[in-house]
Chains A and B, each alone.
Chain A
């Protein structure tokens, strides 16, 4: 009975979403107030019924109802309850339902927080989001019904959740990632609504900005968790693989990074208007493209869902409708007259344009690399995969190119600035950073490592820009004391994100350059020295878990004769699927990780073992956390809270003051 109720609930949500996609849109066209006023309640209605469906599916999982096909395929009576819960979205059907749930959550949030906005705008925005919801609900109901039953041949027990997904990181990774993916539908909907209304002024940019920042912040956190999970769960010690599915989430992030900055220019100065609209369309289109790539099976990947061309075709048609339709609308309605507002070649506008160019080119580069196998295959040129060397070769220089501008950007002035002023601000401390970089390039090694020196230089330079900017705000224009109130939430958020970016770059370069790795056979009593650390295999044993049996190896790690950690890596065999999983053991700290993973058993008392020393690998994730939380923090800014009051006033575009 419960699955059927869930199914009915999903159908009701679908019908309400059709209403949301049509009625307010018609109302906005005919200026029919009553029709436009239905938008918020329809949005809430969709949310409620999708939520009910989601809860009912969750109940089916928790009750081990193996008559439901997805439960039988992705759960097991022995699975710990917390993983039964996350198993709801550890599969194609359930994760699609989560997608729609989060989309409707965003719709409700827009309906709630945008009450002060013009009715025409709100109803169009919600209606566009409603259209997206129609597509995904239809996709769920027609090709991927999560409530499909296995009757009368109900299995006695389920196939179990893929052991790779039985991990705390995977409980929150998909929801965070989807918050970001799907959240980008909000600026998309605002852009479409603005295009429809033909009023692409600074106001839509200001309305979109907080939503974009929040969505992009969640996306950053989601990607960070995915990378961290891959690091400790896949057992290779890698943290980014340029896998198609990773790229699928990374492309909207890159485009979102451009959008976040471009929106700032459009809001403050009224320039880049068409460009910003285009970025908003691209960012969400790439989210949809990611969904297509992950769920259609056109590319092979470690975490793609089961391939199904029928599903692929459905998303492709939907993608064509949404993206093709938006780009057609853009072609017809985007302002063709150049903005009246001018700016100099040396100005904050130009610096943000560099940001936009670099991030857009990076997105194209990643897109080409991701689709390259498909392109070659489509023209029957053979099976190829470009692999990490391509991505590293083009992506790393692009990011390096970005960083010199990143320090100057926040310090620079709108409209017109001078390089002399920048030199005056940054020359002396910049030389200091250079000296430190050269010094650290020699650090710990006999030979000079140019890459580490460069990374320290660039990261230090970015950090310097942030510190200089903060200091200027605190001290300028007052005789004494510090003006703490001048550090607005948007400034703090931005600074945090920029510092985080510098941290990620530094961590990435150091861990790539200085990691050490030994693959060897170890028997009980064997010891191996890696850098300053000595790893001794003390004993082997077995340990039973709730739904698996694990081989364990106990290692003692010591430095200078002093024991610093006992690490217990495992090799688990899961009962239901028979799948073997490597559980790496990690001793983590800010400056280095020690990482042990078991390979295959060799003979009776020995194992193939992989030992790794990974300096500063934590900086990657700490930096990403700072980027994510920085972006989220900006919405606390007072400017956004008074959004409702401001929206009524006529827009002046260029008149806004510097933040």
Chain B
């Protein structure tokens, strides 16, 4: 028996250990580098007024920044819940991502407007700075304007109660929001 014949086995044991570790990691979590950073600087038009705004416009905090677009079907699914949250007093800022402004305004007038304001990001440059995968995504800004959480995908009651409630303790759980959604 030779020791070197055990090398493949040892290599595999290391690999298997790595794979086992990998099972407990969620690859879609926010890149660690973005967490704890202030919201990136930008100068973009606002959706309804057309005047340029900067990061200072996101003044009412803690707040949500919701990445959305009219071409995004899941955003339509998520929309009623955002309206319910806004009615509960959660400040929500929109990042209208790689979208057509005319359609976006139409969407808001038809489906309701949960946003304090909307950053128009036609080229996706703000999204790039933020590290957006796609729409919808929702970021939490704390009272100092620092990104403290990111959620990829549709935001709903369950996700909000689980991951977002530390920053919005006053949002009542459960019933009120469900009633507003008018489904289930």
Q: Contacts of A300 on B, CB cut-off 8 Å?
A: 27-28
Listed stretches A1-9, A260-268, A598-606, A637-645; interface member: A598-606
A622 touches B (CB below 8 Å): no
Q: Would A324 and B5 be within 8 Å (CB), given that A300-B28, A377-B22, A578-B73 are in contact?
A: no
CB-contacts of B86-101 with A (<8 A)? 98, 100
Q: How far is the CA of A297 from the CA of B27 in the complex (A)?
A: 8
Chain A CB within 8 A of B183 CB: no
A382 touches B31 (CB 8 A): yes
Task: Pick out which of these stretches binds chain B: A26-34, A325-333, A508-516.
Answer: A325-333
Q: B179 near A: Cβ within 8 Å?
A: no
Known: A324-B16, A330-B9, A580-B73. A600 touches B22 (CB 8 A): no
Shortest B124–chain A CB gap in Å is 12
A367 CB to closest chain B CB, in angstroms? Answer: 9
**Cross-chain contact of B18 among A327, A375, A580 (Cβ < 8 A):** A375
Contacts of A330 in B (CB 8 A): 5, 8-9
Report, nearest first, the 7 A-B pairs whose CB atoms are least far apart. Answer: A298-B22, A578-B73, A327-B9, A383-B31, A378-B21, A331-B5, A374-B22
Shortest Cβ distance from residue B15 to the other chain A in the assembled complex, whole angstroms:
8
Bound-state CA distance A313–B25 (Å) is: 13
Beta-carbon contact of B27 and A334 below 8 Å = no
Q: Is the CB–CB distance between B32 and A383 below 8 Å?
A: yes
8 Å CB contacts to A: which residues of B1-37? Answer: 1-2, 5-6, 8-9, 12-13, 15-16, 18-25, 27-29, 31-33
| Chain B positions within 8 Å of A327 at CB level | 8-9, 12
In the complex, which residues of chain A have a beta carbon less than 8 angstroms from the beta carbon of B73?
577-580
Say yes or no: A328-B27 contact (C-beta < 8 A), given A336-B2, A374-B22, A383-B32. no
CA distance A603 to B103 in the complex (A): 8
- Whether B102 sits at the interface, judged by CB under 8 Å, is yes
User: What is the CA–CA distance of A299 and B23 in the complex, to the nearest angstrom?
Assistant: 9
B107 an interface residue at 8 Å Cβ cutoff?
Answer: no
- Secondary structure at the B interface, as helix, strand, loop or mixed, is helix
How big is the B interface, by class?
20 to 34
CB atoms of A374 and B18 under 8 A apart: yes
Cβ-defined contact, A328 with B100, below 8 A: no
Q: For A602, what are the chain B residues with a Cβ–Cβ distance below 8 Å?
A: 100
Task: Indicate if the CB atoms of A331 and B8 lie closer than 8 Å.
Answer: yes
> When chains A and B are docked, how far (Å) is the Cα of A282 from the Cα of B18?
18
Residue of A281, A285, A298 with most chain B CB atoms under a 10 A cut-off: A298
- In angstroms, Cα B5 to Cα A281, docked, is 13
Q: Which of A281, A298, A577, A600 contacts B23 (CB 8 A)?
A: A298
- Whether A357 is near chain B, meaning CB under 8 Å from some CB there, is no
Question: Judging by beta carbons under 8 Å apart, are B29 and A316 in contact?
Answer: no
Cβ of A633 under 8 Å from chain B: no
Report how far A297 CA is from B1 CA in the complex, Å. Answer: 39
CB distance from B94 to the nearest CB of A (A): 18
- B8 neighbours in A (Cβ, 8 Å): 278, 281-282, 327, 330-331
- A382, B33: Cβ atoms closer than 8 Å: yes
Can you list 13 pairs linking A and B with CB atoms under 8 Å apart? Answer: A274-B5, A281-B8, A296-B23, A299-B27, A323-B16, A330-B5, A332-B1, A336-B2, A374-B19, A377-B22, A378-B18, A579-B73, A600-B100
Per the bound structure, the CA–CA distance linking A328 and B31 in Å amounts to 39
Q: Closest residue to A382 on the B side, CB-wise? A: B32
Residues of A within 8 A of B1 (CB): 331-332, 336
Are A316 and B32 in touch, CB under 8 angstroms? Answer: no
Whether B12 contacts A323 by the Cβ 8 Å rule is yes
Task: Give the shortest distance, in Å, between B46 (CB) and chain A (any CB).
Answer: 20
B23/A313 in contact, CB under 8 A? yes
A residues near B15, Cβ cutoff 8 Å: 371
A313 shortest CB reach to chain B, Å: 6
Complex Cα gap A175–B24 (Å): 31
Taking CB as reference atom, which chain A residue is nearest B13?
A324
Query: In the complex, how many angstroms separate the beta carbon of A550 from the nearest chain B beta carbon?
Result: 15
Tell me whether B25 and A334 are in contact (CB under 8 A).
no
Which of B5, B20, B27, B33 is A377 in contact with, Cβ under 8 Å? Answer: B27
